[in-house]
Structure 1
């Protein structure tokens, strides 16, 4: 049984096979996903030791998968290599320098892949800035319910509020990264 699971999330079978062939032979189990939803499900079920994520994917983009990984502390510690044929599409959403993951531009050679994996593993061990303490769930103000519909509507609204709060927290984090990047450029 392989001791290390590597998940390759890419809609191209050619890229998935290429990565599999480029990895050193040994204790690797290469898992594959052809879209973002399948990839996120595999991450949650298998808890791979490394994720190789294409940025442009069908059904759920690599950007959306990346955001889901960032929201869950237990997933943030998994080394991540983002892959794309167009670096500018990645930097449009995630400003450089890439602190906690590695980026590799397609097409790539075996040496570049191995270096990206080593770098991603080192970056995954870096301490992350303390995020704001998790917010307590928003207390629902529940008026006396006259029927099940209003209770369901309130529950749906509370879920929306929680999702929006998670998005706000992600935007705050991205803004902090942007400010750090600008400060570094101004030095």
Structure 2
């Protein structure tokens, strides 16, 4: 029996069959979904070792499925490969570098598929930092922490954290644009 259960969410039968055929025989049980709603139902019903998600899907887009996965801590741990024939569609929603999932451009060959799966597995093991963990509410300060730190100072620090996170996001987007530009010039 296959030890690794993989979900391939893609509206193109050819891609789903291609993934199944490219994987080493006997090691994988491949389940398929032809749209986002069907894929999300399977994600919630089964325990997967890997999810391969097309970004453009009928009924519920890959972006919406991605957001549902990211919203649940247990699902975020599943290695994820996002697929698309147009990388720009992905980078419009998620800036590079892709930290917690691997991107696989279509069309792809077996070597690219295996490489993307390995990279997704490695990225899924990376620790995630949540900015919301840093924020301290003023009620927590007034109820439990006494000392020289005022509620206004805490709020000012929280505002700075939010501003810095926005700057970081902007810098990531700019970096992604620079990388894309450099890649285009190299070709």
Query: TM-score by structure 1 length?
Result: 0.73
- Residue in 2 that maps onto 1:73: 73
- Residue in 2 that maps onto 1:100: 100
The 5 A counterparts of 1:162-181 are 175=166, 178-179=169-170, 181=172
Structure 2 segments unaligned to the other structure (5+ residues): 134-162, 179-187
Structure 1 residues 26-77: Cα deviation after superposition (integer angstroms, max 9, x where no partner): 2210000000000001001012110000000000000000000000000000
**Shift in Å, 1:17:** 0.0
Q: Would the aligned equivalents of 2:96 and 2:173 in 1 still touch at CA under 8 Å?
A: no
CA–CA distance in structure 1, aligned partners of residues 69 and 167 of structure 2: 18
The 5 A counterparts of 1:4-83 are 4-83=4-83
CA gap of 1:39–1:31, structure 2 versus 1, over 3 A, is same
When the two chains are superposed, the root-mean-square deviation of aligned CA atoms in Å is: 2.1
- Residue in 1 that maps onto 2:91: 91
Structure 1 segments unaligned to the other structure (5+ residues): 134-171
CA–CA distance in structure 1, aligned partners of residues 86 and 63 of structure 2: 13
- Residue in 2 that maps onto 1:129: 129
Query: TM-score by structure 2 length?
Result: 0.73
CA–CA distance in structure 2, aligned partners of residues 2 and 175 of structure 1: 44
* Corresponding residue SS for 1:132: helix
- Residue in 1 that maps onto 2:140: none
Runs of 4+ in 1 over 3 A off after TM superposition: 174-177, 182-186
Q: Would the aligned equivalents of 2:95 and 2:173 in 1 still touch at CA under 8 Å?
A: no
Q: Would the aligned equivalents of 1:103 and 1:116 in 2 still touch at CA under 8 Å?
A: yes
- Residue in 2 that maps onto 1:149: none
Structure 1 residues 139-163: Cα deviation after superposition (integer angstroms, max 9, x where no partner): xxxxxxxxxxxxxxxxxxxxxxxxx
**Shift in Å, 1:182:** 5.0
CA–CA distance in structure 1, aligned partners of residues 66 and 167 of structure 2: 17
Q: Would the aligned equivalents of 1:10 and 1:16 in 2 still touch at CA under 8 Å?
A: yes
CA–CA distance in structure 2, aligned partners of residues 87 and 108 of structure 1: 13
CA–CA distance in structure 2, aligned partners of residues 68 and 176 of structure 1: 25
